[in-house]
Structure formats: structure tokens, C-alpha cells
Amino acid sequence: MSSYWSQYWQQGHMTSFGNDFSDNYTGALKSLWEEVFKAVAHNNKVLDIGTGNGSIIALGIQINPNLYFTGLDSAKLSLPEIFQNLDKVDFIEEASAEDMPLQDQSYDCVVSQFGIEYSSLPKSLSEVSRVIKPAGQFHFVVHECDSTIVKPNIHILNAGKALLNSEVIDSLRKLFNGLAKYGQQSAITDQLRQKLNSDIASIAAKHASGLQGTNFPVFLKHVMNPNFELKQRKSDLKIFLNELDGQIVRLSDLVEAAMNETKHLQLTTLLKEYGLDLLNDEHIFENGKMIGRYISGTKAN
């Protein structure tokens, strides 16, 4: 899984929502971390699991420059210049939350935003409990399957899978060949066009909004450019299918990571088992819309 994250971070993104939060998080998420970091005592050590390019640490050093931060991620990162020459911040790349190269009881506070839920919770929460000091705090912001972040992605994932399981791609290939052999105006090409349209219509009937998110409609418009030759169409279809495969892997991971009732119960049960006492377990809202869940607490003494 880390390979697509490595590729993503190498593109220089600051947050995992490159388009929506290009500089860093704002709004409810920023406010939440402001509250958290303001309340951490001076000179305390904070560990950020699934740190990415360090968005939460960047917020942390602005809010409370007296803290020491470690960012840990299984991906290869491309950290922004703001972290250069900061002796209170370090990053551990290509290290997993399930097996952290960190000493027992070495952190006062463990945080994670849209990170820890991607890991295997029985192992990673056991590790959190190991590295956190007695009476230390933990603060997790996690994805929720019903959130406005995850829900549209579930529709895209379902549409993408339906597209691959349908006859659409086969019909599109046949239309490419028909166009090359018989031209735009022939009756055979017309039949092939109708077949493709009816295949697309049956997917759109069930997955209208998700289909847009797969970019198939935009791709179709592009590839049907009458000036394109067969070779060009075939090569563009190959690129589209590769991107769709990547999107399906990424969104499957997101959906698997997001809290549903079962996963939430697993998480809270494990916290208890590892001596991590819950203080907050609540939804986070932005403009009245639920965007995730905030889970925090302390390690028992």
C-alpha cells in the first residue's frame, strides 16, 4: 500500500487532500489540532503516526514551538523545506505503525490523522501502548465510512468496479476497431456505438455520481475525438485502465480503513485491552457535515 502513498508524497503534496487543502489543513481539523497542541506541556515529545509530508507536525510547530515531534510513515516522503534545520523535528520514513523502531515509553503524546486506521489495529495499538509514557495522551482523527470525505469515494469505487466488470470496455474496443475499419458513417459502426451507449447507460443507471468520479465520461469524450487514430485510442485506453486500477486499489484501502460499526468496536475494544482509556469519541463536523471521528484518551498509569 505504501507505494502509491510514496508516489503521492513525491509529488510534493502537503496534505492527503492535495486539491482541497493544498497549503495545510484549515477549518475544523486545524482547530482540533490547535486545541490538542496548546494543551501539551512544554518540551513534551509527540509522535505522529502516518504523518505523510508532515501536515500535522507543521500545524504543531506553529501552535506550540516548545514541543519535540517525530513523524513516522511507511511511505517514502518528500518533506517540505519548513522542516529543514529544525532540531526539534525528525521523521522516520518507511517504518510501519505495526513495528515502530522506537523505545518503550518514549513519547508523552501520540497523534494520528487519517493514518492509524490504515494499519493493522491489533499490532499498531499495541505499539502505541508500548511507546507512550504512563499517563501519556493519544489523539486520533480517523475516517468514517459515512463522512462526506469517504462516502463519495465509496460511490466512485463501486462505479469503477462495475465498469471493469461490465461489457463497456469490450464494447469500446470493438467501436475503436469498427471506426478504424468502416469509418464514422457506416451502419456497423452505428451498431457498435449503440451497443456501447446501452452498456454505459446500464452502469449510469446505478452509479451516476460514482461514474463521474472515475473520470470515464471525460475520458470517453477525449478518446472519441474524430481525429484520433486506432493506435492513439488504444494507448489512451491503456493509460485510463491503469489509472482506474490504481484508483480502485487506493479507494479500497480508504474504505477498508474507514470506521464502520465493526471497526469502531474493534478499535475501542483494543484501546481498553492495551490500557488506553478513552476520553473523547465523537464525530467532527465542518459546515454541518460530518468529516471524520475524533478519538482521544490517556494511557493508564
Ligand X SMILES: C[S@@+](CC[C@H](N)C(=O)[O-])C[C@H]1O[C@@H](n2cnc3c(N)ncnc32)[C@H](O)[C@@H]1O
Query: Closer to ligand X at the Cβ: 76 or 88?
Result: 76
Binding of ligand X at residue 114 (CB under 6 A)? yes
Residue 53, Cβ density class (10 Å: 0-12 exposed, 13-18 middle, ≥19 buried) = buried
Phi, psi of 191 (to 5 degrees): -60, -45
Query: Closer to ligand X at the Cβ: 160 or 292?
Result: 292
Instruction: Write the DSSP symbol of residue 144.
Output: B
Phi, psi of 292 (to 5 degrees): 165, -170
Instruction: Write the DSSP symbol of residue 228.
Output: -
CB of 52 to ligand X, least distance (A): 3
Binding of ligand X at residue 15 (CB under 6 A)? yes
Using CB under 6 A as the binding rule, the residues of this chain from 78 to 97 that contact ligand X are 96-97
d(CA 277, CA 285): 24
CB of 114 to ligand X, least distance (A): 4
CB of 50 to ligand X, least distance (A): 3
Binding of ligand X at residue 115 (CB under 6 A)? yes
Spatial neighbors of 299 by CB under 8 A, at least 6 apart, are 129, 132, 133, 134, 135, 136, 137, 138, 275, 276, 277
Does residue 255 sit in helix, strand or coil? helix
Of 69, 91, 107, 118, the residue at the interface with ligand X (CB under 6 A) is: 118
CB of 188 to ligand X, least distance (A): 48
Of 119, 137, 171, 296, the residue at the interface with ligand X (CB under 6 A) is: 119
Q: Which residue stretch of 108-116, 146-154, 217-225, 260-268 sits at the interface with ligand X (rule: CB under 6 A)?
A: 108-116
CB of 116 to ligand X, least distance (A): 8
Does residue 292 sit in helix, strand or coil? strand
Binding of ligand X at residue 51 (CB under 6 A)? yes
Q: Which residue stretch of 73-81, 84-92, 184-192, 199-207 sits at the interface with ligand X (rule: CB under 6 A)?
A: 73-81
d(CA 125, CA 116): 8
Of 44, 64, 113, 129, the residue at the interface with ligand X (CB under 6 A) is: 113
Binding of ligand X at residue 5 (CB under 6 A)? yes
d(CA 166, CA 152): 21
Of 36, 40, 44, 55, the residue at the interface with ligand X (CB under 6 A) is: 55
Query: Closer to ligand X at the Cβ: 96 or 137?
Result: 96
Query: Closer to ligand X at the Cβ: 79 or 196?
Result: 79
Binding of ligand X at residue 2 (CB under 6 A)? yes
Binding of ligand X at residue 64 (CB under 6 A)? no
Site residues (vs ligand X, CB under 6 A): 2, 5, 15-16, 50-52, 55-56, 73-75, 96-98, 113-115, 118-119
